[in-house]
Structure 1
Amino acid sequence: MSRAIFLDRDGVINRKAESDDYVKSWNEFVFLPRAVEALALLGRTDYLLFVVTNQRGIARGLMSEGDLCDIHDNMSRQLQQAGARIDSIFHCPHEKAERCGCRKPEPGMLLEASRQFDVDLKESCIVGDSLSDIEAGVNAGCKELILVGNSLEQEIDTIEAQYSCFADLYEAASYICKKKS
């Protein structure tokens, strides 16, 4: 079985859109500082790297599946050109009220990746910037929970699981790589 690092997208890899808005096109997508370098670091490990992202802008009609594919194709191409990689991208297009099993904090995207790629979730890690990311990792049985950014530390304290907190994805990647060696 393989190990994986599950990465949220908005707020971890790229800059989030303004409140109540979404990154709806490649023109609106901006990598966060040091995110590409972080993914290149992680790409040198034996972990599979998966993006798991809630994208309810699709359910709200603000963008299409095609728009999202275009964003992810361009993101993957730029990462590859910089020597980084993402092994696969999973997204949930549903609205919260739809109560699907894939929208974080539900573990559906992580479980699907585990099925498709034979991932041992107990040896895997989730890196996110929100309570729902950390809860998805807990719900999937991930070994390691990593929060990037520190805007939610007090809210996350309601989770009865141990997690690590770092300023950004690069610091988290450095920690993962150091811990692995």
Structure 2
Amino acid sequence: MAKLLYSATMSVDGFIAGPGGDMSWLSEHVGEKNETADRLLEQIGAIVCGAVTFFGDDPNRDTDAEGAFGGQYDGPVVLLTHRPPHSPPEGVAVATDLESAVDMAKEMAGDKYVNILGADVARQCIEQQMLDEILVFTAPVLLGDGVRLFDRPGGGVVRMEQLPGETESWFRVVY
């Protein structure tokens, strides 16, 4: 059965997007050789993406590298939104609640990962105790402001354990 994984590239000061969702800072880091990222891409069976991320800034817009994982991901996507588009993009399923989005994506993914894209969707998964793992790539930059990896004001402690043999910050969530 598919596991839910939140993966993101974060600045050293904890942001996954700059002010206003700016992702331009990431473009110089996309495409850098990373064995963990390469291995991960092969293990993703579906993506659940929030609307802010889906319709937001892409540092590679209008290039061959546009899209998830620098344009390298080519698989099922479930868009989680409270305002479904009248005509969803081709190949994109739409869900209006987290549970439906996750169920659809797990079915699509089979025994591979469902990768969560979007800080708010990841937060919701944590709050519903659905998230299995978190993988964080760190880019050598300080953004100073923007969208945090996790922003849970008033939230409790979430314990994690490092996955054995991983060199990146790849953790199992312990509920």
Q: Structure 2-normalised TM-score?
A: 0.46
Q: Which has the higher contact order (CA 8 A, sep 6+)?
A: 2
Q: Structure 1-normalised TM-score?
A: 0.45
Q: Write 1 or 2 for the structure with the bigger share of helix.
A: 1
Q: Write 1 or 2 for the structure with the bigger share of strand.
A: 2
